[in-house]
Amino acid sequence: MQQYFEGDKTESLETFSIPSENNGVRADIFLSKILNISRSKAQTLIQKKEILLNSLPLEKYGIALKTGDKLTLKLQAKPLKDSTPQDFNIPILYEDEEILILNKPTNLLVHRTNPQDLQFTLVDYLKDKGFKLSNLGDSYRLGIVHRLDKNTSGAIVIAKNNATHANLSKQIKERQMGRYYLCVINQPLKESKIVDFPIMRHPKHRLKYITTTTNHPTAKTAKTAFFAISTHCDSKLPTQNLALIGAKLFTGRTHQIRVHLNAINRHILGDGFYGYKGSYTGRILLHAHFLHLLHPKTQESLEFYAPIPKDMQDFLCEHFNLSRYQNTQNPHTIQIPLSKIYQG
């Protein structure tokens, strides 16, 4: 099965604004640090005209950057190699002519961020299945209004046309769309709390994010509410004081829940990337359980629960007392009313 981006000239653009502390730094040195590549590789990118400085091709390796300069990395999307056929179906929670709501499985990337990335993505799946998709963004983000991390499961909304995409994006910006998550953390919260720390890319590890101060030039506002659901109640993991909590997103930054928990010295089980060091070795226990939005055409208020994957549900039922959350229509599943538990 051959997969291609639409057109041969599609480009991926990533722009970096030069902060004051890098004023006067050589362009090749700045690129090597921010991209976590060798200096010679950075020089090769410049030589191949893959780097723009303030929208114009960067001509010299050693040009001194100034505060506020814009460096843009331009990578041309190439046809993807043959990929292994993907024979699976993702549960549909709702579908009409405007939107598609899915229960995304774990270990599935929503979209690629690098045009040369060969991983099979949710966008590839949607295209293979023939769904209509909006195309407001890049060709490898078709239909994607918001994202879930690769190893996070749960509810995700897909836009089928551009008007719907714009409407849903506005709902996220104006906080009309509600996104609630379940996660298991390595120690209980002392109380429900809102974490309102800006987030930026880690200066040394480009795949990682950290909290920062509001006056940092690359900081983006980020706000998450965390609230308790249940605490650890069995003796099978006696050395661990676990807690099942809910999280409500007010913004949608990359890794936001994981970064904000790390900032208050809490870690999601299975998330070694952000500091979990316990004995649990399974998937990250983070699931987008509940989503509400206004229908982009009718303005009807819609609510969707994404069933918890069996592996995560088995863990929850083994280590927490959740009998009061059993689904009355299906006693073998649990459904936790997150928006009722946290009404802020």
Kindly state whether residue 82 falls inside one of the protein's structural domains: no
d(CA 157, CA 162): 14
DSSP label at residue 60: -
Q: Is the dihedral of CA 34, 40, 42, 43 positive or negative?
A: positive
Kindly state whether residue 85 falls inside one of the protein's structural domains: no
- 215 with 276, same domain: the answer is yes
pLDDT tens-place string over residues 190-207: 999 999 999 999 988 878
pLDDT tens-place string over residues 68-102: 898 888 754 443 443 445 678 999 999 999 999 99
Kindly state whether residue 87 falls inside one of the protein's structural domains: no
Of the residues 124, 149, 196, 271, which is catalytic?
Answer: 149
- Give yes or no for residue 1 having a pLDDT over 70: no
Kindly state whether residue 81 falls inside one of the protein's structural domains: no
- 103 with 138, same domain: the answer is yes
Q: Which domain holds residue 133?
A: 92-173
**Structure-model confidence comparison of residues 75 and 246, the more confident one:** 246
- 204 with 309, same domain: the answer is yes
- Cα–Cα distances (Å) from 228 to 121, 129, 147, 291, 336, in that order, read 33, 39, 24, 19, 12
Q: What is the pTM of this model?
A: 0.76
pLDDT tens-place string over residues 255-294: 999 999 999 999 999 999 998 988 888 999 999 999 999 9
**Which residue, of 52, 76, 100, is where some domain finishes?**
76
Kindly state whether residue 233 falls inside one of the protein's structural domains: yes
- 269 with 309, same domain: the answer is yes
Q: Is the dihedral of CA 20, 21, 23, 26 positive or negative?
A: negative
pLDDT tens-place string over residues 156-190: 999 999 999 999 999 999 999 999 999 999 999 99
Domain count within the chain: 3
Q: How many C-beta atoms surround the C-beta of residue 17 within 10 A?
A: 12
The model's confidence at residue 237, banded by pLDDT at 50, 70 and 90, is: low
pLDDT tens-place string over residues 20-62: 878 898 998 888 777 667 788 788 888 888 888 998 889 888 9
- Percent of the chain having pLDDT more than 70? 88
**Domain CATH for 66:** 3.10.290.10
**Which residue, of 51, 76, 101, is where some domain finishes?**
76
**Which residue, of 123, 151, 173, is where some domain finishes?**
173
- 169 with 185, same domain: the answer is no
The model's confidence at residue 253, banded by pLDDT at 50, 70 and 90, is: very high
- 187 with 330, same domain: the answer is yes
226-255 mean pLDDT:
85
**Domain CATH for 219:** 3.30.2350.10
For 123, the token pair is 């966008």
Closest by CA position to 92, among listed 81, 103, 106: 103
Residue 28 annotated in active site: no
- 137 with 186, same domain: the answer is no
DSSP-based three-state secondary structure for 226: strand
